[in-house]
Structure 1
Amino acid sequence: MNAAVTTAPADVIRDGLAHLAPVALDALVDVAGLLTRVDRKYVVELQRVPGLLAGLPEGARALEIDGERVFGYRSTYLDTPALDGYFAAGQGRRRRFKVRTRAYLDTGTSWLEVKTRGSRGTTVKQRMPHPDAETVPVSPDGHTFVDAALASGRINRVRPQELTPVLVTAYRRATVLLPATASRVTIDVDLGWTSLRPRCPGELARPSLAIVETKTGSTPSEVDRLLWSHGHRPVRISKYAVGMAALDPTLPRLRWARTLRRELAIPAPTLPSSPQEDR
């Protein structure tokens, strides 16, 4: 699974996308903004990504900004002291949520984002401009925004003022537009996690892996079918959740136990198992 990689992960993606025509950010958002969508995630060995990119459907286009196609991201996740966000997602609750700030390192922009669940398993994302929550506390306007976004997802048990930064994820991402289905695909590499919780400090990196995510309407995209033809299947993975579980061995792994063990090669801790863990 974690064979040595001799080419920088970002260069693997950059080279694999070189044959695609570019698309500007505004055009990408116009065609496939998809703030309400179905996400399917795949963990792929980096060495297999070039073959997948070579098979992208005709008409696929790569997001390009100022001549660059691979961009740095940094997300700071916030949760309650009881980790309500982590447990709600891990236990598959209908009323689950995710709150984070996301910084786009190459453009210098940053957003406060709230994800909730919509009808039929869709993901609903709402966001507003806001600095990285690790360095700048969430503002009163940010608390008001989070409160309204959670209420729209029928989540009333969480007070925004309780949310504090607990984890940072960092990675580099390329985005591909599929105009025929008004959908898009992201490929994340240089995957890294840093715990912000004093009781379990630590870092995790997986440079030999990529997370490929399709973001579509209800119908799978051409890239989903391409991935299936190469033997890849969607997996349960949340960058937030697997980072939390990997860096805090006292947390139950819940529905991510298999992904942590198989895809991320993180052995199970020598602790009593939770009956709710996905085996």
Structure 2
Amino acid sequence: MDTSHLARRAPPRSSALPLDGFASISLAQLEARARLMHRHDLKFVLPRAVLLAFLAEHQTQFDILEIDGKRLFRYQSIYFDSTDLQCWHDHNQGRRRRAKFRYRQYLDHGTQYLEVKLKGLRNVTHKHRVAISATDYQACNMPDALQHFCHETVRAAYPDTRPMRLQRTLGIDYERCTLVARTGVERITIDGSLCFFDQHRRHPAPADRWIIEIKSDHRLPAIAHWMFQHHQRAIAHCSKYGMGAHLLKLPQRNSRFAVALRRHLMPSPDRPT
């Protein structure tokens, strides 16, 4: 099946945020301060009103990534899995040792990477990535050299893992801005205008919902307390791939991603799309 058109979809809808009050940092400064390839992750889904309050109150504690005058960037992720969705099933079953494979394209400056994310002990995320060409990104199948990179990365962490042939499964368009703490090692990504898609259909998430991911070198970053004080609970099963695969591939299955998807990212009559 030709699934190369998964990577040729329209860009996400634009959702402006008031970001001018933050001081800017460059990509090099961000990576020097908080690259966080090995980290703890904590996710929240915020309605727009709470997100605006958060942004207004933290302009002196965080800087914002700015590249070529832009602070809100367009992303596309293409996820890979086995034909029987083994990666998704491992995550759904809560396996402690699991992997996720994706292409990520930065649409505003035309670069793309293959990324392998491994979940390890104490729920720490380890991310490995390598730059890829636009030709590889658009190809129907992942080239053998990149398949080998995925297999060897996983085997180095989990020696008893058997290799599997990866194929394109689904894609996600979204917009992102990135905040970096002025003190400590902490980064926050704010994702909006999400749209899940595969070769058959597109499914946009509500425009007033934003996925906030706090990435830190410790389990409970200070900023999480602000979320708790404003009655926002961390969402345990809010993987974008997990939710996308449930939505597009296994909608009838009672998965661990169904609750977050239904409560936060499904349209309702009184919620804008």
TM-score (norm 1): 0.84
Q: Give the aligned residue type for 2:265.
A: L
- In 2: Cα distance, 1:188 partner to 1:225 partner: 20
Structure 1 pair 88/251, CA: closer, same or farther in 2 (3 Å)?
farther
Q: CA offsets, 1:214-251, max 9 Å, x none?
A: 00012422321211111111102111111111123455
Question: Is the 1:78–1:99 Cα contact (8 Å) retained in structure 2?
Answer: yes
- In 2: Cα distance, 1:141 partner to 1:113 partner: 14
> Of residues 158, 176, 181 in structure 2, which corresponds to 1:173?
176
Q: How many residues align?
A: 252
Could you tell me which residue of structure 2 aligns to residue 130 of structure 1? 132
TM-score (norm 2): 0.86
Question: Is the 2:112–2:131 Cα contact (8 Å) retained in structure 1?
Answer: yes
Could you tell me which residue of structure 2 aligns to residue 223 of structure 1? 223
Deviation at 1:155, TM superposition (A): 6.3
Q: Give the aligned residue type for 1:147.
A: H
**What secondary structure does 1:212 align onto?**
strand
Could you tell me which residue of structure 2 aligns to residue 247 of structure 1? 248
Question: Is the 2:64–2:180 Cα contact (8 Å) retained in structure 1?
Answer: yes
Deviation at 1:9, TM superposition (A): 5.4
Give the % identical residues: 29
Question: Is the 1:181–1:221 Cα contact (8 Å) retained in structure 2?
Answer: no
- In 1: Cα distance, 2:171 partner to 2:159 partner: 24
Structure 1 pair 45/250, CA: closer, same or farther in 2 (3 Å)?
closer
Of stretches 54-63 and 230-239 in structure 1, the one that deviates more from structure 2 is 54-63
**What secondary structure does 1:254 align onto?**
coil
Q: Give the aligned residue type for 1:140.
A: D
Q: 5 Å matches for 1:15-34?
A: 15=18, 17-34=19-36
Deviation at 1:173, TM superposition (A): 0.1
Confirm or deny that 1:192 pairs with 2:191: no
Structure 1 pair 163/174, CA: closer, same or farther in 2 (3 Å)?
same
Confirm or deny that 1:209 pairs with 2:209: yes
Deviation at 1:256, TM superposition (A): 1.3
Question: Is the 2:101–2:115 Cα contact (8 Å) retained in structure 1?
Answer: yes
Structure 1 pair 88/156, CA: closer, same or farther in 2 (3 Å)?
same
**What secondary structure does 2:203 align onto?**
strand
- In 2: Cα distance, 1:95 partner to 1:155 partner: 11
**What secondary structure does 1:180 align onto?**
coil
> Of residues 85, 88, 91 in structure 2, which corresponds to 1:86?
88
Q: 5 Å matches for 1:49-128?
A: 49-56=51-58, 58-128=60-130
For the aligned residue pairs, the C-alpha RMSD in angstroms reads 2.0
Deviation at 1:266, TM superposition (A): 6.9
Q: Give the aligned residue type for 1:186.
A: T
Q: CA offsets, 1:60-103, max 9 Å, x none?
A: 10000011100000000000011000000010001211000000
Of stretches 84-93 and 142-151 in structure 1, the one that deviates more from structure 2 is 142-151
Q: CA offsets, 1:149-181, max 9 Å, x none?
A: 111231654425x11001000100000000212
> Of residues 164, 176, 180 in structure 1, which corresponds to 2:167?
164
- In 1: Cα distance, 2:160 partner to 2:92 partner: 19
Structure 1 pair 152/253, CA: closer, same or farther in 2 (3 Å)?
farther
- In 1: Cα distance, 2:109 partner to 2:252 partner: 35
**What secondary structure does 2:147 align onto?**
helix
Could you tell me which residue of structure 2 aligns to residue 36 of structure 1? 38
Q: Give the aligned residue type for 1:61.
A: D
- In 1: Cα distance, 2:191 partner to 2:77 partner: 13
Structure 1 pair 250/212, CA: closer, same or farther in 2 (3 Å)?
closer
- In 2: Cα distance, 1:172 partner to 1:253 partner: 29
Deviation at 1:57, TM superposition (A): 6.2
Could you tell me which residue of structure 2 aligns to residue 238 of structure 1? 239
Could you tell me which residue of structure 2 aligns to residue 47 of structure 1? 49
> Of residues 124, 130, 144 in structure 2, which corresponds to 1:140?
144
- In 1: Cα distance, 2:137 partner to 2:197 partner: 12
Unaligned runs of 5+ in 2: 1-12, 269-273
Structure 1 pair 176/228, CA: closer, same or farther in 2 (3 Å)?
same
Unaligned runs of 5+ in 1: 1-7, 268-279
**What secondary structure does 1:151 align onto?**
helix
Structure 1 pair 112/155, CA: closer, same or farther in 2 (3 Å)?
farther
